[in-house]
């Protein structure tokens, strides 16, 4: 097989994407392997290899002697064309085995716009896309990752969804597969047994009934001994949880080319639009000692010159100053730097900044998300203009001059006054810089203000909200483009078309599987890439199937409507989400749960106590 692939490499961009054989790649004797798993990332190599979750799951499976986890990425269109021409099926990077020959394929769902790539990968592997068309001769197809918290739009394609953190449940699933494979394996029997494992959802074992208006009337299991609600899985003891002893070092430059250590999971801030902040609760930290030990191992095994401390909001780590001091002291002699993926200054410490400044000047970012204090109270974003100015006054004299602001447009209750606030904050940054004594101004100040389009997501207090229409978004973008006329401020904004589609699939139901299939048949793929995205293809697919996408994106739901993802228990209770939505309507803030328990329900459900 490799010989055939090799012949194509000189015809395509970045051949390093397709050759595997990286430093720290697992090699196994296939005669001693009982379960072969393909970890499939529905995007190109560079994006997939930057994903920490892939490294963790790749290693944890491969550390089991008779399991073999191999990687599969979406080939870029040039390679796909060549493969189709030469009839080469999609293959793994470890052994160049056609994916059809593996036992299990696991797709990670990181963004909704990757869904057509999943179908494209299955088609390139000559594997039927619909789960009902795959018998025992095909691999079991699984999906997990943040988008799996609403799995329904992909229900027709997947045999299994994994809800929550995958470290433990993936191994349990593979063990079950191994046992059942020994005894005259039958796919349906395996799926029924799998559905009994906590955190596993087998869509074909559940039925949805709809009302005439298209909303859900009922959702129920078709057999008696599987759960009605699926609990997400978490690693309870995160400090002692699994971390790879070695990490793959990519062949080509990837998006994040450095060793990454996850310092904590979860977030306590409770921003009302943020899905990650809700579904990854509760917060669990690794101890400083554990992080130091991992950093030694990962540097030794990869040779990387930089360690990045990852989490949803790393400056919130409870002993961040101590951690950074220790890591710098330990790594300085080997010239290994420490970085934070982006210095989100919502929780700022001058001492930490001074330390980091010694190593590397990463860009500074603030995420006020909304332009006025009123709207920041609505979304529960605990950052004020005073915080920003105070921070900038401390940080500019240390030598920084580039600042990025992240905002969202289309947030609930937004007015044009809130949009003016986006301009005001951007100008405030350039004004604060201009006020500094001239001897401290070493470079020109540059501010980038980015505005994404708000997408209401499942399991957030805004999950019932209507999204702005594409026309409303575009009107607001035009307004801001005109308003932000400060030459030192660069204004960038996200495409409204893709945000609309993201909103449809984020809160979609099973009926949307047909739309994804139809759009793929019409040529949709790499929808997350501007040069490939074409909304017309999608609108044609919706029209041909008489499915109205506005029903999903632009409709406000009532609290008593059964939502497609209601059968998933992420630990945060629906009553908490309703309370938070009501608080947003009266602009009432909720404290960070590190300052006091806000009764979201997660610790009672998952750690057996209160915060």
Binding site for ligand SF4 (CB under 6 A): 267, 269-271, 274, 276-277, 312-313
CB nearer to ligand SF4: pick between 280 and 567: 280
DSSP letters spanning 198-250: TTEE-GGGEEEEE-TTSSEEEEEESSTTS-SSEEPB--SSSTTS---SS--B-
Q: Helix or strand or coil: residue 108?
A: strand
Pairing label, strands 264-265, 259-262: unpaired
Distances (CA, A) of 167 to 108, 177, 291, 542: 13, 16, 18, 37
Which residues sit opposite 489 in a β-bridge? Answer: 447
Write 395-400 long-range contacts (CB < 8 A, 24+). Answer: 395/345, 395/348, 395/350, 395/353, 395/364, 396/432, 396/433, 396/436, 396/440, 396/445, 397/436, 397/440, 398/353, 398/354, 398/357, 399/357, 399/361, 399/442, 400/357, 400/361, 400/364
Q: How far is the CB of 461 from ligand SF4 (least distance, A)?
A: 11
Spell out the residues 6+ positions from residue 360 whose beta carbon is closer than 8 angstroms to its own.
Answer: 306, 337, 339
The residue nearest ligand SF4 at its CB is 277
| Closer CB to ligand SF4, 111 or 526, in the complex | 111
Residue 153 near residue 509, CB atoms below 8 Å: yes
* Beta carbon nearer to ligand SF4, 144 or 270: 270
Of 282, 290, 40, nearest to 143 by C-alpha is 40
Element (H, E) at 151: none
Q: Three-state secondary structure along 520-569?
A: HHCCCCCCCCCCCCCHHHHHHHHHHCCCCCHHHHCCCCCCCCECCCCCEE
Smaller CB separation from ligand SF4, 219 or 273: 273
Shortest distance in whole angstroms from residue 269 CB to ligand SF4: 4
Nearer to ligand SF4, 51 or 269 (CB): 269
Q: Number of C-alpha atoms within 13 angstroms, CB side, residue 346?
A: 21
Shortest distance (Å) from residue 274 CB to ligand SF4: 3
For ligand SF4, which is the closer residue by CB, 83 or 383?
383
Strands 67-73 and 35-41: parallel
Contact 569, 229 (CB under 8 A): yes
The helix-helix angle for 350-359 and 385-395 (nearest 10°) equals 40
CB of 460 to ligand SF4, least distance (A): 9
Select 380 or 513, whichever has its Cβ closest to ligand SF4. Answer: 380
Shortest gap between Cβ of 437 and ligand SF4 (angstroms)?
A: 34
Sign of the alpha-carbon torsion through 367, 369, 374, 379: negative
**Smallest distance from ligand SF4 to CB 453, Å:** 16
Partners of residue 105 on adjacent β-strands = 38, 141
Whole-angstrom distance, CA of residue 41 vs CA of residue 33:
22
Nearer to ligand SF4, 173 or 364 (CB): 364
CB of 536 to ligand SF4, least distance (A): 33
Nearer CB in complex with ligand SF4: 142/274: 274
Instruction: Please give the DSSP secondary-structure letter assigned to residue 588.
Output: -
Q: Least CB distance from residue 300 to ligand SF4, whole Å?
A: 31
Q: Whose Cβ is closer to ligand SF4: residue 276's or residue 611's?
A: 276
Find, among 33, 592, 597, 598, the residue nearest to 267 by Cα. 592
Name the residue nearer to ligand SF4 (CB basis): 166 or 266. 266
CB 611, min distance to ligand SF4, A: 16
Q: What are phi and psi of 227, to 5 degrees?
A: -70, 150
Helix or strand holding residue 516 (H, E)? helix 512-521
Least distance from ligand SF4 to the Cβ atom of residue 559, Å: 22
CB of 146 to ligand SF4, least distance (A): 12
Report the nearest approach of ligand SF4 to the CB of residue 388 (Å): 15
- Toward ligand SF4, which CB reaches closer, 271 or 496? 271
312 φ/ψ angles, rounded to the nearest 5 degrees: -75, -25
The nearest distance, CB 4 to ligand SF4, in angstroms, is 45
Whether omega before 205 lies within 30 degrees of 0, making that bond cis, reads no
Q: Which is nearer to ligand SF4, 325 or 342 (CB)?
A: 342
């Amino acid at each position: 097989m490799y010989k055939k692939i090799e012949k194509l490499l000189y015809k395509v961009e970045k051949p390093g994407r397709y050759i595997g054989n990286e430093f720290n790649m697992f090699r196994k004797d296939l005669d001693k392997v009982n379960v072969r798993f393909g970890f499939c990332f529905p995007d190109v190599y560079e994006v997939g290899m930057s994903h920490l979750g892939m490294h963790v799951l790749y290693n944890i499976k491969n550390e089991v002697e008779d399991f073999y986890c191999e990687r599969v990425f979406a080939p870029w269109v040039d390679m796909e064309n060549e493969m189709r021409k030469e009839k080469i099926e999609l293959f793994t990077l470890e052994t160049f085995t056609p994916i059809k020959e593996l036992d299990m394929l696991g797709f990670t769902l990181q963004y909704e716009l990757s869904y057509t790539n999943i179908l494209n990968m299955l088609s390139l592997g000559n594997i039927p896309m619909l789960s009902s068309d795959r018998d025992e001769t095909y691999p079991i197809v699984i999906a997990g990752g943040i988008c799996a918290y609403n799995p329904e739009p992909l229900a027709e394609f997947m045999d299994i969804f994994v809800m929550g953190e995958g470290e433990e449940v993936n191994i349990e699933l593979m063990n079950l597969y191994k046992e059942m494979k020994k005894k005259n394996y039958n796919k349906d029997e395996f799926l029924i047994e799998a559905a009994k494992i906590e955190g596993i959802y087998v869509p074909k074992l559940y039925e949805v009934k709809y009302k005439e208006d298209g909303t859900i009337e009922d959702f129920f299991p078709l057999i008696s001994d599987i759960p009605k609600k699926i609990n997400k899985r978490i690693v309870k003891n995160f400090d002692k949880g699994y971390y790879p002893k070695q990490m793959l070092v990519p062949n080509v430059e990837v998006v994040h080319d450095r060793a990454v250590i996850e310092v904590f999971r979860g977030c306590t801030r409770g921003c009302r639009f943020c899905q990650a902040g809700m579904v990854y609760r509760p917060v669990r930290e690794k101890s400083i000692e554990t992080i130091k030990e991992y950093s030694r191992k990962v540097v030794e095994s990869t040779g990387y010159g930089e360690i990045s401390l990852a989490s949803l909001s790393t400056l919130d780590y409870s002993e961040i100053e101590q951690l950074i001091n220790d890591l710098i002291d330990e790594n300085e002699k080997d010239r290994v730097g420490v970085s934070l993926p982006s210095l989100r200054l919502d929780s700022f410490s001058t001492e930490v900044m001074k330390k980091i400044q010694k190593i590397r000047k990463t860009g500074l970012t603030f995420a006020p998300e909304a332009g006025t204090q009123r709207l920041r109270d609505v979304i529960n974003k605990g950052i004020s203009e005073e915080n920003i100015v105070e921070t900038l006054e401390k940080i500019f004299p240390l030598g920084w001059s580039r600042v990025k602001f992240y905002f969202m447009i289309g947030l609930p209750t937004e007015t044009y006054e809130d949009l003016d606030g986006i301009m005001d904050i951007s100008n405030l940054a350039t004004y604060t810089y201009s006020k500094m004594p001239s001897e401290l101004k070493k470079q020109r100040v540059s501010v980038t203000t980015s505005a994404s389009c708000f997408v209401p997501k499942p399991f957030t207090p805004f999950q019932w909200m209507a999204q702005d229409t594409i026309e409303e978004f575009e009107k607001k973008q035009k307004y801001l483009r005109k308003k932000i006329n400060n030459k030192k401020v660069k204004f960038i904004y996200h495409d409204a078309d893709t945000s609309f589609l993201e909103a449809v699939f984020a809160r979609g139901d099973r009926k949307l599987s047909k739309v994804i299939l139809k759009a793929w048949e019409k040529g949709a793929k790499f929808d997350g890439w501007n040069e490939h995205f074409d909304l017309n293809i999608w609108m044609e697919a919706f029209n041909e199937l008489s499915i109205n996408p506005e029903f999903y994106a632009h409709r406000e739901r009532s609290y008593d409507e059964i939502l497609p993802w209601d059968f998933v228990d992420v630990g945060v209770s629906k009553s908490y989400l309703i309370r938070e939505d009501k608080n947003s309507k009266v602009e009432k803030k909720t404290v960070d749960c590190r300052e006091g328990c806000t009764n979201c329900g997660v610790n009672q459900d998952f750690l057996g106590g209160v915060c």
